[in-house]
Structure 1
Amino acid sequence: MFASLSEFEREVIRKRTLAGLAFARRRGQLLGRRKGLSKAGFLLSRFG
């Protein structure tokens, strides 16, 4: 009984998450990790 309820709850959470991500994409928000250093920033950090 609890296992089936847990699976249902997990599916609801998954659907809400995917809907939120789709909404953010439509608004033009950037998703995911930020990019690392630029090439200039990398060279500055390596060679001072």
Structure 2
Amino acid sequence: MSTFRAVRGFVLMTTVVCGLVAAAWSGLKDMPWVHDHDRGDVIWIDTARG
């Protein structure tokens, strides 16, 4: 039973970590400052995204 618990714990931990990484990625890629390109005094804003 100990091996089963270890595998189950590993699968649960992997699922939680993957979910957190996916949520962080989704949140960060939609942030407006990620798409701003600083070129000195001028800030270029990517307007190609919908």
Shorter-chain TM-score: which interval?
0.5 to 0.7
Residues 6-47 of structure 1 show CA distances to partners (whole Å, capped at 9, x for unaligned) of 100000000000000000001116xxxxxxxxxxxxxxxxxx
Query: Which residue of the partner structure matches residue 10 of structure 1?
Result: 10
Q: Which has the higher strand share?
A: 2
Structure 2 counterparts to residues 23-34 of structure 1, below 5 A: 23-28=23-28
Q: Which has the higher helix share?
A: 1
Higher relative CO (CA 8 A, sep ≥ 6), structure 1 or 2?
2
Query: Which residue of the partner structure matches residue 19 of structure 1?
Result: 19
CA RMSD of aligned residues (A): 1.2
The runs of 5 or more residues in structure 2 that have no matched partner are 30-50
Task: Report how many aligned residue pairs link the two structures.
Answer: 29
TM-score (norm 2): 0.55
The runs of 5 or more residues in structure 1 that have no matched partner are 30-48
